[in-house]
């Protein structure tokens, strides 16, 4: 029979890697708590119109990247979420979470987009999403950016650079859009197929083109910044002031427009050149219109999403080895009645807080001891017929120290002493333990 394989672009995260992910998630949770963000968990499936309305009909995501299908049982049109903001706004509106105060929320989990898989670009990928709902900024916009810098520091990541831009208000964008359309219409022969398709539906996205032949045309196009009114420019200036005060370098990138329609005013991206073509590790901005657009009471909001896979490939300073939680004890048993005694002993040690591996699967004493050693445990606890009869355990330290025989009731205490360095444990282990 042919071997079964995962769906293209959807990855298994195997134990060594999964342990690194867990360590990353711990750093992320602590970081979010430090800024007062609370968790929210949304379903992976939503009604398709949610994303069409939130992200925009003529965006890459909605046009060609969504996993949408009709539920065979009831005919509903459903979509695997391609991003989290739409679902989050749907949830806070549905549950009326903004009725008395603003909310700072975060989530983490898989997102789905039908893209061409390559390094840093997958069909199931993971995001950490952070949303500040009910805040008009610019203080919160600045804090959202400043908190990213803290995470890079917490993770020891270097060389992640900030780009910012302002998209202004919807009215300013409309005026700019009209000018942009006339400009591109006047140069229609110079447009590629993609640009021509977008000319009347989403001309702003033409500015984002990667086609070298169109660069000069795009450079000379009407600039949105020339259409911003004083409120928008003040908002943008206020953010920059706060970034300067926080010592965060940034580059204003007038061509940063983002691929989702819901943004206004502030947009930003954190970019690295250490990941090849997929260099954006975090992206976000303000989306003041979205809540009302999805049927909620109008309220301002801003947020960002980070790509976990991209951050994980930067975060290689932490070795998987250092993260693996090894068991403290490994219970070896052979002979009549020994298995039952081993089960009891293992549970007793877990009661005392020790991670304990109970040998399963039988085998000779020698092969069990080999497993015990390979597990990385500090001690093998041996139960033979002899020990069981005497209600004792042979306590064999695996990383140095004398083998002793102790009564069953004393095992936990003996193990605690060994871990504290009371045995012959070397200095390194001693420090490691006392520091915890
Ligand atoms: P890109 O320009 O790389 O396609 P995007 O603008 O589509 O990114 P967003 O929707 O803003 O991305 O998502 C935020 C972050 O999620 C991105 O900056 C990136 O780190 C990550 N991300 C987006 N799409 C993918 C994907 N297909 N695979 C892995 N990570 C992704
Ligand atoms: Mg994309």
Are 134 and 67 within 8 A, CB to CB? no
Is residue 268 a contact partner of residue 143, using CB atoms and an 8 Å limit? no
Strand pairing category for 67-70 and 301-307: unpaired
Cα–Cα distance between 112 and 122 in angstroms, integer?
8
pLDDT the model gives residue 198? 86
Q: Residue with the nearest Cα to atom 28 of ligand 1?
A: 121
Ligand that comes closest to the CA of residue 11:
1
β-pair type (77-80, 124-133): unpaired
pTM exceeds 0.85: yes
CB 115 near ligand 1, within 6 Å = yes
Q: Please tell me which residue, 276 or 85, carries the higher pLDDT value.
A: 85
Lowest mean pLDDT across 107-111, 138-142, 197-201, 269-273: 197-201
Task: Map tokens 């009725």 to a residue.
Answer: 99
- pLDDT (tens digit per residue) in 59-101: 889 999 999 999 999 999 999 999 999 999 999 999 999 999 9
Which residues are bridge partners to 128 per DSSP?
108, 306
| Contact status, residue 395 vs residue 414, Cβ threshold 8 Å | yes
Percent of the chain with pLDDT strictly greater than 90: 79
**Ligand 1 atom closest to Cα of residue 306:** 15
Q: Residue 429 — pLDDT band, cuts 50, 70, 90?
A: very low
Residue 425 pLDDT > 50: no
Nearest ligand 1 atom, CA 259: 6
Kindly state the average pLDDT of the residues 377-381: 97
- Banded pLDDT at 317 (limits 50, 70, 90): low
Any atom of ligand 1 within 6 Å of the Cβ of 393 = no
pLDDT of residue 436: 33
Query: Could you tell which of 255, 307, 311, 315 is best to mutate to test the pocket of ligand 1, judged by most ligand atoms within 8 Å of the CB?
Result: 307
- For residue 68, the model assigns a pLDDT of 96
83 in helix, strand or coil? coil
Q: Where are the beta strands (DSSP E) in 93-187?
A: 103-112, 124-133, 161-166
> Tokens for 178?
């009209």
In contact, 38 and 91? CB cutoff 8 Å: no
Strand pairing class (103-112; 161-166): unpaired
Contact between 122 and 111 under an 8 Å Cβ cutoff? The reply is no
| Ligand 1 pocket check for 55: Cβ under 6 Å | no
Q: What is the distance in A from the centroid of ligand 1 to the CA of 419?
A: 45
pLDDT of residue 72: 96
pLDDT of 415 over the 90 cut: yes
The token pair that represents 30 in the structure block: 């602590």
Q: Using CA positions, which residue lies closest to atom 26 of ligand 1?
A: 121
Using pLDDT thresholds of 50, 70 and 90, give the confidence band for residue 346.
very high
- The predicted pLDDT at position 155 comes to 93
Question: What is the tens place of the pLDDT at every residue in 181-237?
Answer: 999 999 988 999 989 988 988 888 888 788 899 999 998 999 889 999 999 999 999
Contact 11 CB / ligand 1 (< 6 Å): no
- CA of 214 from ligand 1 middle (Å) equals 24
Cβ(400)–Cβ(425) below 8 Å: yes
| Ligand 1 pocket residue status of 280, Cβ below 6 Å | yes
Position 378 pLDDT exceeds 50: yes
Burial class (CB in 10 A: 0-12, 13-18, 19+), 259: middle
Residue 372 alpha carbon to ligand 2 centre in Å:
47
């Amino acid at each position: 029979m042919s071997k079964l394989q995962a769906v293209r672009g959807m990855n298994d995260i195997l134990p060594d890697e999964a342990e690194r992910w867990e360590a990353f998630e711990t750093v992320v949770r602590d970081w979010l708590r430090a800024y007062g963000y609370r968790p929210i968990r949304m379903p992976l499936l939503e009604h398709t119109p949610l994303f069409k309305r939130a992200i925009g009909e003529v965006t890459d995501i909605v046009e060609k990247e969504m996993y949408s299908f009709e539920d065979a049982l009831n005919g509903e049109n459903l979509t695997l979420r391609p991003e989290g903001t739409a679902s989050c706004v749907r949830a806070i509106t549905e549950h009326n979470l903004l009725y008395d105060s603003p909310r700072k929320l975060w989530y983490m989990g898989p997102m789905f987009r039908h893209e061409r898989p390559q390094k840093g670009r997958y069909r199931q990928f993971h995001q950490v999403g952070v949303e500040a709902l009910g805040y008009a900024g610019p203080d919160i916009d600045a804090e959202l950016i400043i908190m990213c810098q803290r995470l890079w520091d917490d993770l020891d990541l270097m060389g992640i650079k900030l780009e910012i831009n302002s998209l202004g208000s919807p009215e300013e964008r409309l005026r700019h859009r009209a000018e942009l359309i006339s400009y591109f219409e006047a140069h229609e022969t110079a447009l590629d197929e993609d640009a021509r398709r977008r000319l009347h539906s989403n001309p702003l996205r033409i500015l984002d083109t990667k086609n070298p032949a169109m660069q000069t045309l795009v450079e000379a196009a009407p600039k949105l910044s020339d259409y911003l009114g004083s409120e928008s420019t003040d908002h943008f200036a206020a953010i920059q002031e706060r970034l300067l005060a926080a010592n965060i370098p940034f580059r204003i990138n007038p061509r940063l427009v983002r691929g989702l329609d819901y943004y206004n005013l502030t947009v930003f991206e954190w970019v690295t050149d250490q990941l090849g073509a997929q260099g954006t590790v975090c992206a976000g901005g303000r989306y003041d219109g979205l809540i009302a657009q999805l049927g909620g009471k109008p309220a301002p909001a801003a947020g960002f999403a980070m790509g976990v896979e991209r951050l994980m490939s930067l975060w290689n300073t932490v070795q998987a080895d250092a993260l693996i939680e090894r068991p403290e004890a490994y219970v070896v048993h052979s002979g009549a009645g020994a298995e039952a005694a081993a089960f009891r002993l293992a549970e007793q040690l877990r009661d005392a807080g020790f991670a304990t591996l109970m040998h399963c699967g039988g085998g000779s004493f020698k092969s069990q001891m080999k497993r015990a050693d390979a597990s990385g445990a500090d001690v093998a606890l041996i139960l033979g017929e002899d020990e069981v009869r005497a209600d004792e355990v042979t306590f064999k330290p695996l990383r140095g120290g004398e083998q002793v025989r102790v009564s069953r009731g004393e095992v936990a205490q003996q193990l605690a002493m060994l871990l504290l360095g009371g045995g012959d444990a070397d200095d390194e282990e001693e420090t490691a333990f006392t520091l915890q």
